[in-house]
Amino acid sequence: MAQKIHKQTPEQRNVVARALELQELLGYKTAADFVREQLVGISESRWGRIRDDKYPGNPDHTVDQLQQAINRMELFLARKSMQGSVASSLADEFYLLPLFKSVEGAVARAMNEKGQDRLVMCPWPTGGGKTAMCEHLRKQYGAKVIHAALPSYRKNAIPFYRDLAAALGIVLPGNRRRAEGTVFEALNKHDGGLLCIDEGNNFGGECIDVLKAILNTTRWSVAFFCTPQHFRNMMAWYWDRTDQLLRRVVAIIELDEIKAADVRPFMEPLNLNGSLREACMIVAEAANEFGHFDLCHRVTWEMAEKDHHELEDVQKAVMTVRQRLRTAAMKANGERHAKRGRVK
């Protein structure tokens, strides 16, 4: 029996409407990004049901969580306004740290390369800035970004061709051979370009072959982002294919230990009453243990409700954010195992 839909009150609908306004105001183009960055404790599917007033159950608790998130966002915006920030939206903020400068330099070398060696590999952990770097490369170089997280990428190259066609703005024929020809014809109409593979964690043998063919037969350069574990798996499971692919590499750029200097841009706007250096060291230590740059970003959001902060506020924010991230990771891991255990 289906659960009863509890319609929201006018006041609750106003809360939802304000959240939607803030999503647009802060520059989030997708619900997934908005939920991940701002609606802590609310899943994307639950946000969708609350947004559409189709939540199966009592919406009171979720709307209360939504209001808390709204309060944080509005306070952050108010502080940004008082500080005269030139950022047009919070989603547009990107700190060009040394790691990201290294990627920029490698991408520039790849795009100037006359031969086939035009691949930049970035095996970074969760929270390491993969998606943010892809978005930066899209803005700086007009990169076409492919989000390749779907498990179907492991089976064959059809999902890859579909996403390539969408990024290139072309219609893909139903016949596979014609689809392949259509994609490569579209790629070769451009005298080069940059292709970013975000979350390439499920790249299988066929997708690797397509990537190699792009480097061999077109002028496009590729920046490939995945987790370190998936990078190692790809090298082990498809060694005969990746061995050839690695010959096309300009650079493999790994995320080293996050230092206090890397955290400084995140912490400088927070008006600390104590030592900025000590605060950055606290956050850097926690980020290296879990969460990486994602933790740094979320700590600044957690501390946005106050105008001035002590070191104990930093420690409290780090503990809160770390717990939220770990809870979310455990929940996601549990859902993955549950899906694997289902009888098909």
Global pTM reads 0.69
pLDDT tens-digit profile of 54-70?
888 788 888 888 888 88
Report pLDDT for 308. 67
pLDDT band at 184 (very low <50, low <70, confident <90, very high): very high
Give me 147's structure tokens. Answer: 């989000």
With a cut of 90, say whether residue 110 has pLDDT above it.
yes
Q: What is the three-state SS of the chain? A: CCCCCCCCCHHHHHHHHHHHHHHHHCCCCCHHHHHHHHCCCCCHHHHHHHHCCCCCCCCHHHHHHHHHHHHHHHHHHHHHHHCCCCCCCHHHCCCCCHHHHHHHHHHHHHHHCCCCCCEEEEECCCCCCHHHHHHHHHHHHCCEEEECCCHHHHCCCHHHHHHHHHHHCCCCCCCHHHHHHHHHHHHHCCCCEEEEEECCCCCCHHHHHHHHHHHHHCCEEEEEEECHHHHHHHHHHCHHHHHHHHHHEEEECCCCCCCHHHHHHHHHHHCECCCHHHHHHHHHHHHHHCCHHHHHHHHHHHCCCCCCECHHHHHHHHHHHHHHHHHHHHHHHHHHHHHHHCCC
Q: Please tell me the least confidently modeled range out of 78-87, 146-155, 261-270.
A: 78-87
d(CA 160, CA 167): 11
181's tokens: 């020809």
Residue-wise pLDDT for 275-306, tens only, equals: 888 999 999 999 998 888 888 888 887 776 66
Q: Using pLDDT thresholds of 50, 70 and 90, give the confidence band for residue 89.
A: very low
Q: Measure the CA–CA gap between 129 and 265, rounded to whole angstroms.
A: 15
Q: Is residue 37's pLDDT more than 80?
A: no
Residue 25 banded pLDDT, cuts 50, 70, 90? confident
d(CA 122, CA 256): 12
Fold of 98-252: Rossmann fold (3.40.50)
pLDDT value at 78 more than 70: no
Q: What is the 3-state secondary structure (H, E, C) of 110-140?
A: HHHCCCCCCEEEEECCCCCCHHHHHHHHHHH
